[in-house]
Amino acid sequence: MDVLDGRVAFVTGAASGIGLGIATALAQSGVRVMMCDIERQALEAAHAGLAATNADVAHVLADVSLKEQLKAAADATIARFGKVHILVSNAGVGGGAGYGQWTDASWQWTIGVNLMSVIWGVEIFGPLIESHGEGGHIVNTASIAGLAAAVAPPYNVTKYGVVALSESLRAPLGARGIGVSVLCPGVIRTRIMESSRNVPARFAGQIERPELPPEQAALLAQFAAAMEQGIDPLYVGELVVEAILGDWPYILTDTQFEPMIEARFAEIRAGFDRIRDRTPRRGKAVP
Ligand code: NAI
């Protein structure tokens, strides 16, 4: 996208943290923003805060892990602004338990919010962006945990999924005038550690985090401490604006975890090296 002024964006998880940082940076660039979130009070407060800066913003309440609510939020966006150019699928929840501790409900919640909403976002908003012929952009929030399996398995799985989805769609949507970027933040100062505040009622009593084994508890405490020094969400929002204008495939926020990702690449390269000199036996057709 070359022009942002006057365009319309739909941002999920916009009531807090990175989503609010992105909504703010977009609004500061003249974008009209529909802010979407599950948390009513925080959403209303965030909306009021941006509206006070004279930004043209609106809000819509939705649980993005329910397709019909996301669809209704898209309809509300068109009703309010007439069209939409930018989708930021950012809502997400942390956690999901480790081996021996996860439940079906904790997988469903994490996959629903972090991954299915991103898939449905493309499905619902793609045709809306295409329909006006002015082009647009989709930003999907993954994580560094989408490039190296850094935290609990359910979270890593969803974030790898968001990276894979974004990479798969970059060429086909690019050909239709829609850029696709995946945002992989490091440690950003937000309320992600308090994600359980947004467990939907349908999972009540099924997701409580069990007593963590000491090494996991220590890792979590380390992360919580790091978050105190975390990056400003508005800084991330400003990067996202730059990425939309520059059509960046990957949006990284800092280099803290680059060695971890390099180590993963090295493991994969070692896998190739192990079999490099062999000639694979080609199979006969299975009868
Ligand atoms: P946050 O907790 O401050 O913000 C998340 C927002 O999503 C909240 O406003 C919350 O109400 C909303 N939300 C949660 N469930 C929802 C649902 N079912 N429907 C609609 N909205 C819902 O956390 P943060 O950090 O701003 O998270 C934003 C994204 O950034 C997430 O996808 C997270 O996984 C990702 N991320 C965050 C990192 C960090 O260090 N904070 C690092 C890497 C990725």
Q: What is the mean pLDDT of residues 234-248?
A: 98
CB of 167 closer than 8 Å to CB of 146 = no
pLDDT at 274: 98
pLDDT at 210: 62
Q: Which residue has the higher pLDDT, 214 or 240?
A: 240
Q: What is the mean pLDDT of residues 217-237?
A: 89
pLDDT digits (tens, 9 = 90+) for 91-139: 999 977 888 888 999 999 999 999 999 999 999 999 999 999 999 999 9
Rounded CA-CA distance 182/82 in Å is 26
- The structural domains of the chain, with segments of one domain joined by +, span 8-254
Strand partners, 12: 36
pLDDT at 207: 83
Whether 95 lines ligand 1, by a CB cut-off of 6 Å, is no
| pLDDT for 283 beyond 90 | no
Mutate to test the pocket of ligand 1, among 37, 202, 235 (most ligand atoms within 8 A of CB): 37
**Range scoring the smallest mean pLDDT among 41-50, 149-158, 163-172, 207-216:** 207-216
Provide the mean pLDDT of the chain: 95
Quote the pTM value: 0.97
Query: What separation in Å is there between the alpha carbon of 163 and the centre of ligand 1?
Result: 16
Rounded CA-CA distance 187/135 in Å is 32
Yes or no: domain 8-254 corresponds to CATH 3.40.50.720: yes
Name the helix (H) or strand (E) containing 32. strand 32-37
